[in-house]
């Protein structure tokens, strides 16, 4: 078997698909070195990839009206995504630059927590450009273009959320390794899996929820424990990566999440 640039775990849906793995490598080679300021290269997505995007897009947008926070819905509408075309990272990055000063930095795959959080401090979000395996269009065990553009990008177009992301990144610059782990955990419970209350109803603002059909439906089903967000408690709380989250942390607004994180970061 040939060596691949992109490493996949044996339980990845595309692990035994040589065509998919070669395609992943092809897209990975388009990513510039980490820290580069050059704009993302455009990807000519295949028909299979377009169909995978369409299935994920249609499933998620059916849930958004009753599951996503209102700030997300407003920016999502402005982005103008369509089911029949995978958006280009370059176009979305330009949109975010105009809105909040954030830009998207293409990466070949996962980067270290310190590198990722450090980039956030500069208002740079490390994003992948490949798409999940076509056999499971509503699931991915790792970040992909659906996760980045359906989950993160609309939220990064909201000033309060952009500020929250940057604040967590700033905390990492003077943190030791244990504190970086704690900040990564707080990132998970806010940026990835945060929920907030709107007129007495729970709504998602975390990208991990907003980009996962099954997780989003489960999180707001009433079957998940929800606690008021307390970074001092949440920072050492363990969480599963390959199953639905059993615990979520809520705020009354994204501004509240920023205020709590700002207070916490001052102690790092």
Among the listed residues 67, 71, 152, 212, the single catalytic one is 152
User: 62 versus 36: which is more confidently predicted?
Assistant: 62
Residue spans of the domains in the chain: they are 18-265
The pLDDT of residue 1 is 44
Task: Based on the residue annotation, tell me whether 218 is a catalytic residue of this protein.
Answer: no
Buried b (16+ CB within 10 A) or exposed e, 54-66: bbbbebbeebbee
The whole-model pTM stands at 0.95
Among the listed residues 165, 172, 211, 212, the single catalytic one is 211
Residue 145 has pLDDT above 70, yes or no: yes
Task: Based on the residue annotation, tell me whether 93 is a catalytic residue of this protein.
Answer: no
Residue 2 has pLDDT above 60, yes or no: no
Residue 156 has pLDDT above 60, yes or no: yes
pLDDT in tens, 37-88: 889 999 999 999 999 999 999 999 999 999 999 999 999 999 999 999 999 9
Going by pLDDT thresholds of 50, 70 and 90, the confidence category of residue 91 is very high
Task: Based on the residue annotation, tell me whether 12 is a catalytic residue of this protein.
Answer: no
Task: Based on the residue annotation, tell me whether 67 is a catalytic residue of this protein.
Answer: no
Residue 5 has pLDDT above 80, yes or no: no
**CATH H-level, domain 18-265: superfamily:** Aromatic amino acid hydroxylase (1.10.800.10)
The pLDDT of residue 6 is 79
Among the listed residues 147, 165, 170, 172, the single catalytic one is 147
């Amino acid at each position: 078997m040939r060596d691949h640039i992109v490493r996949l775990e044996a339980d990845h849906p595309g692990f035994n698909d040589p065509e998919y793995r070669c395609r992943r490598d092809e897209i990975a080679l388009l990513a510039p070195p980490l820290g580069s300021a050059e704009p993302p290269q455009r990807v000519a997505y295949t028909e299979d990839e377009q169909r995978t995007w369409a299935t994920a897009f249609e499933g998620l947008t059916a849930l958004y009206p009753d599951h996503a926070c209102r700030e997300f819905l407003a920016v999502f509408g402005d982005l103008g995504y369509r089911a029949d075309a995978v958006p280009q990272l370059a176009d979305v990055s330009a949109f975010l630059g105009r809105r909040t000063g954030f830009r998207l930095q293409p990466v070949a795959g996962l980067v270290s927590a310190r590198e990722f959080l450090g980039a956030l401090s500069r208002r740079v979000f490390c994003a992948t450009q490949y798409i999940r395996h076509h056999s499971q269009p509503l699931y991915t065990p790792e970040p992909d273009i659906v996760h980045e553009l359906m989950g993160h990008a609309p939220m990064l177009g909201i000033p309060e959320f952009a500020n929250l992301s940057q604040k967590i990144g700033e905390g990492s610059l003077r943190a030791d390794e244990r504190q970086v782990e704690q900040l990564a955990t707080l990132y998970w419970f806010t940026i990835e899996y945060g929920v907030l209350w709107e007129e007495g109803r729970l709504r998602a603002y975390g990208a991990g929820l907003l980009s996962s059909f099954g997780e989003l439906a489960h999180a707001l089903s009433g079957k998940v424990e929800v606690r008021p967000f307390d970074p001092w408690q949440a920072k050492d709380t363990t969480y599963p990566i390959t199953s639905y989250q059993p615990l979520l942390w809520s705020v009354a607004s994204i501004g509240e999440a920023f205020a709590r994180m700002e207070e916490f970061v001052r102690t790092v």
